[in-house]
Amino acid sequence: MNPAAAAAPPWRPLRRVLHRFENGVAALALLGMVLLPLAEIAARSLFDQAVPGAIVFTRHLTLWVGLLGAALAAREGKLLALATGELIPAGRWRSLAQRAAAAVSAAVCGLLGWAAWQLVSVEREIGETIAAGIPRWVAQLVLPVGLALIALRLIWAVSGWRGRAFAATGLLVGLWLASHPEVLDGRAAWPSLAVVILATLLGGPIFAALGGCAAVLLLTEGGVAATVPAEMYELSVSPILPSIPLFTLTGFLLAEGRAADRLVRVFRAWFGWMPGGTAVVCAVVCAFFTAFTGGSGVTILALGALLHQALTNDRYRERFSLGLLTASGSLGLLFAPALPLIVYGVVAEVPIRDLFVGGVLPGFLLLGLVVAWGIREGLRSDAPRVAFDRREAVAALWGAKFELALPGLVLATLFTGLATPVEASAVAALYTILLQTAVHRELSPTRGLARVLRECTVVIGGILIILATAKGLSYYFTDALIPERLVDWAEGAIESPLVFLLALNVLLLLIGCLMDIFSAIVVVVPLITPLGAAFGIDPVHLGILFIANLELGYLTPPVGLNLFLSSYRFDKPLLEIYRATFPFLLILALGVLAITYFPPLTTGLSALVGS
């Protein structure tokens, strides 16, 4: 008998079974989200009728994918957190910070998990169904279960049994607070908020900060913590939200095979003759992928090595290459069907099609600025060019025809009215599944596809749980009439819309530096949209400049997200990444100012399309 196997803890096989079960349920839920909208399209087109419950089930599967994905992310240590935790010196201090962050985060999970169980109990008494006779409480059961799994995994991730025991006390405190809410009723909120925020700065997950702050603010003012999971549920089953997991899956599938190689070949064949041709290619390919993955992190991590090697081979300076790839990771956030545009449309209640159209010219402006800087670098470094070869250009175009057709397919289904945004995202997901498994055969239709579904669910869970808990905090702001108070203050303190836009630029730059783009949208947008309306700012213009500013925040030191991702991906010190990215930060800041103060960039194309 193998001694190592004999020494293995007896619970390890049980844990493997549990992990496989979780992976399977999460993958099936995501796959169901792909198939149900497609069945709806087929039934509507062929039989002029709907599939009973298809839309409702798709929305509730989003809830399951989000919570199960978050539990998987906690299991793998991939819950989104601020990068400030990495600034703590390794060793004892970082270990203490990890324990404190885990204890507070577990307390938040315990508080929200118990509140979610209370919500489920109330729904069980009411007895309402969602479709096909399935009770609503059954669909909501994933809320307390998912939060419990996250809490246990945050505790288990702490090193050493003493550290885990300390973190577990946080879970007990959270459960106790959930059963004794009167402890916080009428008390000052700031001490508890300070503890939650400090834990986040020490490395706690962002969702715990948002959910914890929401629960504390509600409880100190006599509210109930169950409001937070109720808002989590309402957001997760909103009509447009299922498009986020489906477009993310599309991006993951594209990054899985050799789509990046084919696209690099296309753009190099067509633009490699230009000065800085390789730099231009890298910027365009990054923008293409980010538009589908919805986050710069996936682009930098998935394509960074390939594109960095291409730049190195063509003798581009190391500092320029690092800066280009760090900045280009978020260039596609203004191009359809980027997820921030969809989330903004959901939260601000702005038509998503208008945001897709409004982001085209600003997106090309920011991309053009980076491309121009790449051309300058190509001239400066005398980087080699690729002579234009008509045969190679046509062959490369033909080789990547399926990938290049994808944006057109999505936009055609949307703007012709053939499909809703959710159905269009399902079409895109199925298209890429068939492309990778049947056409290119770069992905196994069984194990390979299951692995991609699991990896995608982890990222989706990390995003959706942030959105869901942020909705609870947004509910508190609305209930406390904070947007109305801000409008009254701004109208008295700021007279000019131009001054308002400048102040908004500064505020959003700071927010983009400190918060991820999705939680910033859910928390901040309900606060600024009334201000925008008061100053006569077009809703689409406000949305595009909001996302453009947050895109810039990804590059802003000291804790811009792209800076840490590049430091990790390319194994370079943060200070080196700061220096490399600074020129791109400046030129993109000029682009953001142009977008802010020249509204026709965002509204002109919409007016032209509308006419």
State the Cα angle at 74 between 69 and 80, rounded to 5°.
85
Contacts of 377 (CB under 8 A, 6+ apart): 276, 279, 316, 317, 320, 324, 383
Q: What is the pLDDT of residue 1?
A: 45
Q: Which of 515, 511, 470, 268 is nearest to 389 (CA)?
A: 268
What is the distance between the alpha carbons of residues 451 and 428, in angstroms, rounded to a whole number?
A: 19
Give the CA distances from residue 570 to residues 170, 294, 578, in Å, rounded to whole numbers and listed in that order: 36, 21, 13
Strands 129-131 and 134-135, sheet pairing = antiparallel
Scan for tokens 């404190």, then name that residue.
Answer: 100
Contacts of 535 (CB under 8 A, 6+ apart): 490, 494, 497, 500
What is the distance between the alpha carbons of residues 324 and 319, in angstroms, rounded to a whole number?
A: 9
Scan for tokens 């508190």, then name that residue.
Answer: 476
DSSP assignment of 231-249 equals: HHHHHHTSSSTTHHHHHHH
Reading the block at residue 297, the tokens are 């992190």
Q: Which of 81, 205, 77 is nearest to 153 (CA)?
A: 77
Contacts of 487 (CB under 8 A, 6+ apart): 530, 531, 534
Contacts of 40 (CB under 8 A, 6+ apart): 50, 51, 54, 55, 423
| 3-state SS, residue 160 | coil
Q: What is the pLDDT of residue 611?
A: 46
Scan for tokens 């087929």, then name that residue.
Answer: 42
- For the chain, domain boundaries: 3-236, 243-610
| 3-state SS, residue 131 | strand
Phi-psi region of 318 (alpha: psi -120 to 50; beta: other; left: phi over 0): alpha
Sign of CA dihedral 124, 128, 130, 135: positive
CB distance 531 to 500 below 8 Å: yes
State the Cα angle at 581 between 578 and 583, rounded to 5°.
120
What is the distance between the alpha carbons of residues 511 and 521, in angstroms, rounded to a whole number?
A: 10
Q: Which of 260, 296, 201, 212 is nearest to 514 (CA)?
A: 201
What is the distance between the alpha carbons of residues 576 and 574, in angstroms, rounded to a whole number?
A: 5
| 3-state SS, residue 202 | coil
DSSP assignment of 574-609 equals: HHHHHHHHHHHHHHHHHHHHHHHH-THHHHHHHHHH
Q: What are phi and psi of 167, to 5 degrees?
A: -65, -35
Scan for tokens 């819309």, then name that residue.
Answer: 497
Taking every pair of Cα atoms in the chain, the longest distance, rounded to a whole number of angstroms, is 80
Q: Which of 559, 486, 474 is nearest to 524 (CA)?
A: 474
Phi-psi region of 335 (alpha: psi -120 to 50; beta: other; left: phi over 0): beta
Walk along the chain (611 residues) in steps of 10 and give the mean pLDDT of each run: 53 81 91 93 86 90 93 89 70 86 94 95 91 90 95 92 92 93 88 92 88 93 90 85 85 81 86 86 86 68 78 88 89 86 87 90 94 90 83 92 88 82 90 92 88 88 85 84 79 82 84 72 86 90 92 76 75 83 93 92 77 46
Give the CA distances from residue 422 to residues 28, 133, 135, 340, 358, in Å, rounded to whole numbers and listed in that order: 18, 24, 24, 15, 20
| 3-state SS, residue 52 | coil
